[in-house]
């Protein structure tokens, strides 16, 4: 009997110690980031990988008067990436058909002309009934749809607050960089 009690205690203790500790519930990916999209090189990228960062989403076009903004977007990426900013490009031909035909051409253009190293996604629509799901959410959150290429959406680390900036907003303008720095300062 003593043997059974001791064995029971040992098994009970082993069972208790074998129980995994309850981990804190994983953060749920914000709705605006809860999508998997193709990058220019055809790889699938889950935007939840950018959870907890300040995310700058920009609809781009290679042949637009605003195309030189790629230089400023790359500068922002370089300057703030280690502080938690990620710049994401979304090529689209919605405005004047000013985007190149293929993802391969877009990738070459971005690399050769602006040395872009931030993630750029496969060409998609950013307005209308066929717009990609991320842009549906961005429009719903801000009440503002892109009116032209290089419209900017700045998303806070929590994925809830979304700021909208027109195409004419220079990525390196003090107003814009101040907004980025304010969101980066929020933990």
Whole-number Å distance between alpha carbons of 126 and 123: 9
- Read off the pLDDT of each residue in 163-185 and give the average, rounded to a whole number: 98
CATH classification at residue 176:
3.40.30.10
Residue 128 domain boundaries: 28-185
In a domain, 127, yes or no: yes
Determine, yes or no, domain membership for 132. Answer: yes
pLDDT tens, residue by residue, 110-123: 999 999 999 999 99
Alpha-carbon distance of 2 to 86, in angstroms, equals 64
Q: Is residue 6 part of a domain?
A: no
Instruction: Count Cα atoms within 13 angstroms, Cβ side, for 70.
Output: 25
pLDDT tens track for 52-73: 999 999 999 999 999 999 999 9
User: How much is the pLDDT for 27?
Assistant: 65
The Cβ-side half-sphere exposure at 52, using a 13 Å CA radius, reads 6
Q: Is 36 inside a domain boundary?
A: yes
Answer whether residue 136 shows pLDDT above 70. Answer: yes
Q: Report the catalytic residues.
A: 64
pLDDT-wise least confident of 4-8, 14-18, 55-59, 144-148? 14-18
CB 182 within 8 A of CB 83: no
Q: Mean of the pLDDT values across residues 125-154?
A: 97
Q: How many domains does the chain have?
A: 1
| Within a domain: 46 | yes
pLDDT > 50? residue 80:
yes
Q: Which residue has the higher pLDDT, 176 or 15?
A: 176
Question: Domain for residue 112, yes or no?
Answer: yes
- The arithmetic mean of pLDDT across residues 132-151, rounded, is 97
User: Could you tell me which of 92, 91, 89, 1 has the C-alpha nearest to residue 47?
Assistant: 89
> pTM for the whole thing?
0.85
Q: Are 174 and 180 in contact (CB under 8 A)?
A: no
pLDDT of residue 187: 82
Tell me if 16 is assigned to some domain.
Answer: no
């Amino acid at each position: 009997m003593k043997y059974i009690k001791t064995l029971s205690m040992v098994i009970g203790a082993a069972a208790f110690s074998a129980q995994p500790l309850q981990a804190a519930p994983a953060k749920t990916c914000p709705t605006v980031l809860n999508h998997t999209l193709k990058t220019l090189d055809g790889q699938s990228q889950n935007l939840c990988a950018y959870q907890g960062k300040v995310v700058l989403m920009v609809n781009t076009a290679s042949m637009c008067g605003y195309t030189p903004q790629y230089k400023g977007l790359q500068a922002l990426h370089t300057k703030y990436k280690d502080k938690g900013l990620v710049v994401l490009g979304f090529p689209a031909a919605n405005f004047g058909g000013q985007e190149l035909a293929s993802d391969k051409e877009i990738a070459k253009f971005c690399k050769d002309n602006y040395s872009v190293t931030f993630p750029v996604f496969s060409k998609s629509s950013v307005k209308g009934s066929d717009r990609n799901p991320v842009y549906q959410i961005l429009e719903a959150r801000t009440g503002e749809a892109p009116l032209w290429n290089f419209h900017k959406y700045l998303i806070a680390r929590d994925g809830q607050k979304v700021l909208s900036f027109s195409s004419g907003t220079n990525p390196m303008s003090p107003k814009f960089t101040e907004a980025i720095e304010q969101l980066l300062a929020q933990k």
